[in-house]
């Protein structure tokens, strides 16, 4: 009975059983995602994930891009007009001593749904007097809406076209000029892109006016050296592979970063607790007598302790991060079910002849334990590790839902809990809940499948007739 | 024999209870949490009591402060709060064991009191209602399905149920809860998405009961859905082990009916280990109730826990942990009795 044979048996069992194969395939993919996440994501997610300004150019809570195929409807992606995409025209009129800067861009809007939001940034470079800025939207039907006309007082002017009250009033007067009834609430992102009729204010009945839209930003400044740049965002209704959350964060990045965090958390907790519990079980059986009695009683007591309430109390009363949490979990699961199985397996091993042989040539008790008994327990330990991983992955998720997880690291549990508290269920933001939930479920099932296959080897009594 | 067995278990479980409550106290008071809570409450009591006494407002400010401090120190002394840390923890331990859980900081019961024992007592029946119903339902369902699987191992039914059991065993009930709420409550609008009764609750008792059942449907379904598979699987394996025993072959050779063999020779020896493994999963699910109830908005102990966590009501958190320690020990004790009743080694000797 050598160590390598035991492990070979295990891996063979894995590759021959169907559930083992499924589990291995899924797990390989999840490992692949983890490696991809660590290599591909070009920044330190931990610091950027909770920084709202970093995600400003993404639309808020929109579905993944591929949902257009499901809906069979061309939903708009986000159109970002960067400053160098504007056609810039500047000239200085000496007679009036005014500097004119005109920024123009043409956008093709051929989608079946309205944008989710509009915003613009004007960067004004002026010496003393703030320049006058005018933003005009020229629609495919020839009508023109002046969105903004004001003196700029800052070098950087962020204009929230969808929510700014002055801009809404400008849009209102544009609608009045068109002869449209304006008693409803005005959503600029809808009526500016709607076919001109009496329904253009109705969020349900308005229809998209497709075609070329021209955005013109005119800046009139006092000095010849003054100049201006602009950016324009037409936020869409779909984004990336996984959509965004209410903080405009790209969920895809959170999802793939959740993989290494979940694996690291689940595996490290499972490995440490399983190894310690098995060792204690082996010690209990091997040394026997008082040691056995004590370890058995402590194990039984440990199994009745209110584990989760303790964990909650510790993480509330002493603020902890995710790695300290693992330490506590290990401390709270030094003894457990594995101690019992390891003990009974050790009893079987102890009766074998090679142990007797080792004793007879004078090997010390400790030597026999670590060199002859523990290796034999390895298959059980491996099976228990694999079976325990899902529990720890979900434990982390549960703590996140209770608001006790590490707030800095994007984990799957954290995303689900954010979605839940962000009302994703009420508003039907399915991707926000379902994608992380699906990933957790798939990962957990992969471990469960492998664990099931291994369990049949280490507990032969479970084998079918 | 049953008496001796139960006596031993009671002794052992009481020790376990004392230990878990003591650990609770140590965790809570290692940062001085209980000390702070108690002295704040004593101070509050003294101040409000004195303020009610006649002539208090006429006293000069310095005199007021002196009186409060004086009474405060004597109260602290009487309570033993000035004793060393270790001794204090034993005072707290006794208070906790006798369920003198003190007052909450923010949370009140429906009747308006801040006594934690009252708040918890108000919630406890609701948790027990949901989880006992669920446990009984899934154990019966699991047992029946498990026996059916054991009858034809390797069949399609067996394989599908095993597959289902593997997945549901890995995924906790609260997780299914979130998905089912999304599906059945928000998308299909079949059931309410949370709570225990409608707002406002129906006035006559019959409609009230129906309303509770209506709200219980989804949590109960989720609970049964996620638990019965693994129980069926355990039952299957244990009964298959005993059905390979020689005495079953003998019974079959005697020409006994399959039904009789199942009941007398297969199920009976498998029941004790089934109860043992179920007791462990029950302990896990009691604790899982903290999240499951939160997800379903079921106003039991679990969501009280969540409420206390979100507004940092430390006394309630400590009190609840103590009650959980009691709950787990009580669950094990009840299962011990069941075990004693079905394990022939214990039961038969009791009858003599």
Interface check for A423 against chain B (CB to CB < 8 A): the answer is: no
B165: Cα within 13 Å, side-chain hemisphere: 24
Residue B48 has pLDDT above 60, yes or no: yes
Are A142 and A167 in contact by the 8 Å Cβ rule? The answer is no
- pLDDT score for A1: 47
- pLDDT bucket at A45, cuts 50 / 70 / 90: low
Q: Give me the pLDDT at residue A295, please.
A: 92
% residues pLDDT > 70 (chain B): 97
CA A62 to chain centroid: 14
pLDDT grade, residue A282 (50/70/90)? very high
In chain A, the N- to C-terminal Cα span, in Å, equals 25
User: For A91-120, what is the mean pLDDT?
Assistant: 88
Q: What pLDDT score was predicted for residue B141?
A: 93
Distance CA B218, CA B195 (A): 11
Instruction: Say yes or no to pLDDT of A270 above 90.
Output: yes
- CA distances for B124 relative to A100, B211, B301, B302, B329, angstroms: 74, 19, 6, 9, 15
Minimum mean pLDDT range among A35-44, A166-175, B91-100, B260-269: A35-44
Q: What are phi and psi of B197, to 5 degrees?
A: -135, 165
Taking the C-alpha atoms of residue B18 and residue B218, their distance in angstroms, rounded to an integer, is 36
Cβ-in-10-Å burial (0-12, 13-18, 19+) of A1 comes to exposed
Structure token pair of residue A89: 């025209």
Average pLDDT over residues B27-40: 78
CB contact (8 A) between residue A309 and residue B179: no
| The token pair that represents A299 in the structure block | 């194990």
β-strand pairing of A144-151 with A211-221: unpaired
pLDDT at A225: 84
Is the pLDDT confidence value at B278 over 70?
yes
Q: What is the mean pLDDT of residues B24-39?
A: 79
- Please give the structure tokens belonging to residue A27: 């797990």
Chain A residues whose CB is inside 8 A of the B153 CB are 464-465
Average predicted confidence (pLDDT) for chain A: 86
Percent of chain B whose pLDDT exceeds 90 = 8
**Confidence (pLDDT) at A51:** 81
CB A237 within 8 A of CB A75: yes
| A465 has a pLDDT exceeding 70 | no
H or E stretch at A427? helix A424-427
**In the prediction, which pLDDT does B349 show?**
53
Q: Please return the burial class of A28, using the count of CB atoms within 10 Å of its CB with bins 0-12, 13-18 and 19+.
A: exposed
**What's the average model confidence in pLDDT over B297-310?**
88
Tokens of A273: 């607790």
In this predicted structure, what is the pLDDT of residue A436? 92
CA distance B308 to A346: 45
Token pair, residue A183, equals 């008693």
The enclosing H or E element of B290 equals helix B268-296
What does residue A87 show for φ and ψ, rounded to 5 degrees?
-80, 120
Distances (CA, A) of A254 to A346, A415, A440, B64: 44, 8, 13, 58
Mutate to test the interface with B, among A19, A313, A337 (most CBs of B within 10 A): A313
Tokens representing residue B170 in the block = 């890995």
What's chain B's length in residues?
352
Whether pLDDT at A460 is above 80: no
Instruction: Give the pLDDT confidence score for residue A268 in this predicted structure.
Output: 92
* pLDDT for the residue B352: 43
Q: Compute how many other C-beta atoms are within 10 angstroms of the C-beta atom of residue B31.
A: 11
Whether chain B has a CB inside 8 Å of the CB on A18: the answer is: no
The residue with tokens 């049964």 is B224
pLDDT tens-digit series, residues B8-18: 888 888 988 99
Kindly report the number of other CB atoms within 10 A of residue A211's CB atom: 12
| Distance, CA of A342 to CA of A114 (rounded, Å) | 62
Instruction: Give the Cβ contact number of residue A9 at 10 Å.
Output: 13
How big is chain A by its Cα radius of gyration, in Å?
A: 32
Pairing of strands A98-109, A87-93: antiparallel
Q: Name the residue with tokens 């492998």.
A: A450
Residue A341: its pLDDT value, please? 85
Distance from CA of A239 to the nearest CA of B (A): 22
pLDDT of A273: 93
Residue scoring higher pLDDT (B281 or A372): A372
Residue range A41-62: mean pLDDT, rounded: 79
User: Which residues from A are below 8 Å from B305, CB to CB?
Assistant: 309, 312
Cis, bond preceding B200 (omega within 30 deg of 0): yes
Label residue B270 by pLDDT band (50, 70, 90).
Answer: confident
pLDDT tens-digit profile of A221-230?
A: 888 888 888 9
What is the chain B residue with the closest CA to A298?
B16
Residue of B nearest to A426 (CA): B186
- 3-class SS at A259? helix
Write the pLDDT tens digit of every residue in A416-455.
Answer: 888 888 888 778 888 898 899 999 999 999 999 998 888 8
Is residue A46 scored above 70 in pLDDT? no
**Least reliable range by pLDDT among A157-161, B52-56, B320-324:** B52-56
User: What would the mean pLDDT of A7-13 be, rounded to a whole number?
Assistant: 78
Residue with the larger pLDDT of the pair B218 and B344: B218
What is the rounded average pLDDT of the residues B215-226?
92
- Highest-confidence segment of A42-56, A123-137, B65-79: A123-137
- Mean pLDDT computed over B41-52: 81
Q: Which residues contact B189 (CB under 8 A, 6 or more apart)?
A: none
Name A145's bridge partners: A137
Cα separation, A138 vs A135, in Å, equals: 10
Residue A240 region by backbone torsions, left for phi larger than 0, else alpha for psi between -120 and 50, else beta: left
What totals of helices (H) and strands (E) does chain B contain, helices first?
A: 14, 0
Q: Which residues of chain A lie closer than 8 angstroms to B309, CB-CB? A: 312, 316, 402-404
Percent of chain A with pLDDT over 90: 15
Q: Chain A interface, mutation test: which of B11, B19, B178, most A Cβ atoms within 10 Å?
A: B178
Nearest CA of chain B to the CA of A442: how many Å?
9
> What is the per-residue pLDDT for A463?
45
Q: Cβ contact (<8 Å) for A448 and B170?
A: yes
């Amino acid at each position: 009975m050598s160590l390598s044979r035991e492990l070979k048996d295990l891996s063979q069992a894995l590759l021959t059983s169907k559930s083992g194969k499924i589990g291995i395939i899924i797990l390989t993919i999840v490992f692949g995602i983890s490696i991809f996440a660590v290599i591909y994501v070009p920044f330190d997610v931990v610091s950027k994930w909770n920084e709202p300004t970093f995600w400003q150019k993404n639309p808020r809570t929109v579905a993944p891009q591929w949902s257009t195929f499901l809906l069979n409807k061309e939903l708009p992606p986000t159109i970002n007009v960067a400053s160098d995409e504007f056609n810039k025209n500047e000239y200085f009129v000496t007679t009036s001593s005014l500097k004119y800067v005109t920024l123009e861009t043409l956008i093709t809007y051929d989608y079946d749904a309205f944008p989710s939001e509009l915003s613009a940034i004007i960067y004004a470079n002026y010496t003393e007097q703030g320049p006058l800025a005018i933003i005009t939207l020229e629609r495919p039907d020839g009508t023109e809406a002046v969105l903004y006309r004001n003196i700029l007082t800052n070098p950087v002017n962020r204009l929230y076209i969808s929510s700014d009250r002055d801009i809404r009033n400008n849009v209102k007067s544009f609608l009045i000029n068109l002869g449209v009834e304006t008693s409803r609430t005005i959503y600029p992102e809808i009526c500016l892109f709607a076919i001109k009729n009496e329904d253009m204010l109705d969020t349900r009945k308005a229809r998209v006016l497709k075609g070329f839209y021209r955005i013109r930003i005119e800046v009139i400044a006092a000095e010849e050296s003054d100049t201006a740049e602009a950016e324009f965002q037409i936020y869409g209704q779909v984004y990336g592979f996984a959509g965004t959350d209410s903080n405009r964060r790209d969920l895809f990045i959170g999802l793939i970063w959740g993989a290494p965090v979940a694996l690291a958390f689940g595996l490290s907790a499972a490995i440490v607790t399983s190894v310690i519990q098995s060792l204690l079980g082996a010690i209990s059986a091997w040394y026997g007598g008082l040691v056995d009695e004590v370890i058995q009683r402590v194990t039984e007591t440990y199994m009745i302790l209110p584990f989760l309430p303790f964990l909650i109390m510790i993480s509330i009363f002493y603020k902890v991060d995710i790695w300290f949490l693992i330490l506590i979990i290990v401390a709270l699961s030094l003894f457990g079910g594995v101690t019992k199985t390891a003990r009974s397996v050790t009893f079987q091993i102890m009766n074998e002849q090679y142990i007797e042989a080792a004793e007879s040539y004078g090997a010390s008790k400790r030597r026999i334990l670590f060199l002859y008994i523990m290796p034999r327990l390895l298959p059980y330990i491996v099976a228990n590790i694999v079976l325990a991983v899902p529990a720890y992955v979900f434990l982390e998720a549960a703590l996140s839902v209770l608001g006790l997880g590490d707030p800095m690291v994007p984990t799957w549990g954290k995303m689900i809990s954010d979605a839940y508290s962000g009302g994703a269920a009420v508003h039907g933001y399915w991707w926000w809940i379902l994608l992380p939930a699906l990933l957790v479920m798939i990962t957990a099932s992969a471990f469960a499948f492998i664990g099931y296959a291994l369990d049949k080897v280490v507990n032969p009594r479970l084998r079918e007739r | 024999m049953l008496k001796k067995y139960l006596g031993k278990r009671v002794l052992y479980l009481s020790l376990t209870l004392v230990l878990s409550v003591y650990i609770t106290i140590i965790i809570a008071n290692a940062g001085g949490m209980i000390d702070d809570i108690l002295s704040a409450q004593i101070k509050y009591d003294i101040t409000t009591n004195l303020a009610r006494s006649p002539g208090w407002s006429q006293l000069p400010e310095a005199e007021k402060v002196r009186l409060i401090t004086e009474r405060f120190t004597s109260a602290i002394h009487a309570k033993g709060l000035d004793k060393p840390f270790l001794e204090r923890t034993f005072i707290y331990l006794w208070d906790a064991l006798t369920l003198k859980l003190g007052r909450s900081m923010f949370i009140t019961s429906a009747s308006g009191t801040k006594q934690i024992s009252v708040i918890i007592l108000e919630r406890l029946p609701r948790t027990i209602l949901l989880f006992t119903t669920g446990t009984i339902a899934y154990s019966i369902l699991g047992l029946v399905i498990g026996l059916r699987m054991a009858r034809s191992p390797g069949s399609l039914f067996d394989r599908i149920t095993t597959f289902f059991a593997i997945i549901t065993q890995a995924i906790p009930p609260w997780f299914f809860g979130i998905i089912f709420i999304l599906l059945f409550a928000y998308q299909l609008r079949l059931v309410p998405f949370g709570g225990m009764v409608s707002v406002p609750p129906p006035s006559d008792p019959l409609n009230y009961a129906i309303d509770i059942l209506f709200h219980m449907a989804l949590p109960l379904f989720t609970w049964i859905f996620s638990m019965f598979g693994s129980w069926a699987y355990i039952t299957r394996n244990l009964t298959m082990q005993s059905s390979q025993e020689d005495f079953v072959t003998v019974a079959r050779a005697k020409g006994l009916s399959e039904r009789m063999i199942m009941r007398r020779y297969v199920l009976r020896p498998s029941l004790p280990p089934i109860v043992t493994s179920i007791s462990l999963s029950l302990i896990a699910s009691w604790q899982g109730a903290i999240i499951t109830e939160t997800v379903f908005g079921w106003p039991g102990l679990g969501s009280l826990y969540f409420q206390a966590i979100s507004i940092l009501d430390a006394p309630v958190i400590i009190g609840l942990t103590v009650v959980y320690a009691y709950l787990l020990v009580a669950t094990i004790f009840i299962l011990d009795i069941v075990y004693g009743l079905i394990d022939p080694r214990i039961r038969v000797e009791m009858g003599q």
